Amino acid sequence: MTLAVKRVYDKPDPKDGLRILVDRLWPRGLSKEDAALDVWLKSVAPSTELRRWFQHDARKWKVFKNKYFAELDAGTEAVGELLGYINQSDVVLLYAAKDPEHNHAVALKEYIELAVSQ
């Protein structure tokens, strides 16, 4: 099993494995064909309130991750669905944000890796 993170606007690669969009909102200006998704898992994305509070501000990153991890802990059904996909195939988590280091998909990958290692 490999778990990767990739911007949904980047060109799909045959080596991606299962392509899962983990955004609550559909990416602007992107057709469903160009996204080449296998799954859109909105339920694993941060809440609207948390997303609006964070606004991809790197200064809020540590607090954002803690709040997002708490949401993920409370939403075990969505996390369980994602883990089911990860147990079946290589997975790439797709996101639309511009910042490749401070976005929820990066945090989600970290959360999943911690959960699997325990």
Cα(97)–Cα(99) distance, integer angstroms:
6
**What total number of domains does the chain contain?**
1
Please tell me the predicted confidence (pLDDT) of residue 108.
Answer: 98
Count Cβ atoms below 10 Å from residue 68 Cβ, excluding itself. Answer: 21
- The 10s digit of each residue's pLDDT in 5-55 is 999 999 999 999 999 999 999 999 999 899 999 999 999 999 999 999 999
CA 30 to chain centre: 17
C-alpha closest to that of 108 among 87, 89, 94: 94
Q: Which domain holds residue 10?
A: 3-117
CA 94 to chain centre: 6
Q: Is the full-model pTM beyond 0.75?
A: yes
